Amino acid sequence: MTQNLTKVVFWGVRGSTPTVERDSWRYGGNTSCVELTTPGGSRFIFDCGTGLRMLGNHLHALNGRWTKWRGDAGVEAHVLVTHYHWDHIQGIPFFHPFFEAQNRFHFYSYESKYLGRNSLRQVLEAQLAKPYFPVDVTTMAAARTFRAVEGGDQWDLDETHVRAAWLNHPQGCLGYRLDTPIGSVVYATDNEPGVAEFDDNLRQLAQGADVLIYDAQYSPEQLASTRKGWGHSCWLEGVKIARESKVKNLVLFHHDPDSSSSTVDGFLSAARQEFASTWAAMEGMSITLNGKGADIVLPEARLGQRRRLCFPALVSGCTEDGAAFEEKATVRDVSVQGAYLCLSNRPRLQSELRVVIQGSDDPSEAGALSLRATVTHCEPRRDKGQNGVGVFFIEDAEPEPPRD
């Protein structure tokens, strides 16, 4: 089905290695994998980290639904691989569409000096070699083509223009830019700033892009000290590039496996102080470009039981325009992780709110429940002037230790 939209979906946002810790899952634990579909229906996949498995399940289900009315035409995609570190290739053996004969995949990456010709094919097949995987590569029935590309190359795929540029990362890494009929998206992860040649490459690649997905693994302090030379970047560099290259939306990506959700929250809010249109990549998040702007949708984060209720709350936070607000509101339901609120203000997605729920029996301040929350959803309600706002409760910052 074709629509007049370009859509980006984040299937894996973590760098280096997958995480399953409770305090990391709000942003997601799968490693790098981003899908882009164009208005004409062409599908691109950036990187094959562990997020690729979930994309595979999604495509399998989608193809099953299509099969009813158009026959099994299979899945076709262009797979742009940035480099061969584990976190960018480890999803390959777990991507079901590779094992189905009706599907077609076109791979692009560079010839590594450590692997030589057919580098990408070798990487793919080595993961299914004995004794690393139970079945061998002959079970991978989908048609596959491999094309070696390098920094500076550009080519057309269907209605989309693709450009590749070298980034600064141990053993090499490519950044990609896709200019689709509706909007441009740059995927530039695994890059350490500070080498003029690569810094220039990236700025040229990102020039005027609607969306820049950028490596923000470390804090600026880590990048300047203990993590110097590890090949990664930070939110502050992302902000500088976004400003200098007149990028419209900056997405912080490749979160460190040791970064908790609240650490990523902190990077995001620091970045937003400098560059307002910043987002933090979240597993399941989508960005739709429709020619007028970027529409961001966050994944459903509230998995707990919901209890319907109706009681008053005092809510304070920031609107989409950045203005502070405080209003009396109604809590309509509560679940273990979050709540659905009715507000007259429209708070910004991924911004922080303070929700003070006032006990109806005891309106005194002492009886109030004060909760820190992040906005995951916001849409107008049918009741006049009200917005339905989904929030996810986050832990309060550690209290300051008592002073003597």
Of 44, 43, 49, whose CA–CA distance to 11 is shortest? 49
Instruction: For residue 232, state whether it binds Zn ion (rule: CB under 5 A).
Output: no
Near Zn ion in 190-219, by CB under 5 A: 190
Rg (CA), the chain: 22
Cβ closer to Zn ion: 15 or 193?
15
Cβ 88 to Zn ion, closest distance in Å?
A: 6
Stretch that binds Zn ion, among 78-86, 260-268, 287-295, 356-364 (CB under 5 A): 78-86
Neighbours of 63 (CB within 10 A): 18
Q: What tokens does 165 get?
A: 């540029």
Interacting residue with Zn ion among 14, 26, 85, 272 (CB under 5 A): 85
For Zn ion (CB under 5 A), the number of binding residues is: 4
Integer Cα distance of 288 and 346 in angstroms:
20
The SS3 call for residue 330 is strand
Site string for Zn ion, 276-295 (x = CB under 5 A): --------------------
Q: Say whether residue 91 binds Zn ion (CB under 5 A).
A: no
Q: Say how many CA atoms lie within 13 Å of 70 toward its Cβ.
A: 9
Task: Determine if 256 is a binding residue for Zn ion (CB under 5 A).
Answer: no
The window from 71-79, 124-132, 150-158, 189-197 that contacts Zn ion (CB under 5 A) reads 189-197
Q: Is residue 255 a contact residue for Zn ion (CB under 5 A)?
A: no
Helix (H), strand (E), coil (C) string for 352-379: EEEEEECCCCCCCHHHCEEEEEEEEEEE
For the chain, the first-to-last Cα distance in angstroms comes to: 67
Residue 47 makes contact with Zn ion by CB under 5 A:
no
Looking at 10, 13, 14, 15, which residue binds Zn ion (CB under 5 A)?
15
Range 97-156, binding Zn ion (CB under 5 A): none
Which residues face 295 on adjacent strands? 288
What does 101-136 look like in DSSP terms, one character per residue?
TT-EEEEEE---TTT-TTHHHHHHHHTTSTTTSSS-
| Least Cβ distance, residue 49 to Zn ion (angstroms) | 8
Q: Pick from 35, 87, 256, 265: which binds Zn ion (CB under 5 A)?
A: 87
User: CB 45 → Zn ion: shortest distance, Å?
Assistant: 16
Decide whether 85 or 302 has the Cβ nearer to Zn ion. Answer: 85
Token pair listed for 14: 């973590």
User: Rule CB under 5 A: which residues touch Zn ion?
Assistant: 15, 85, 87, 190
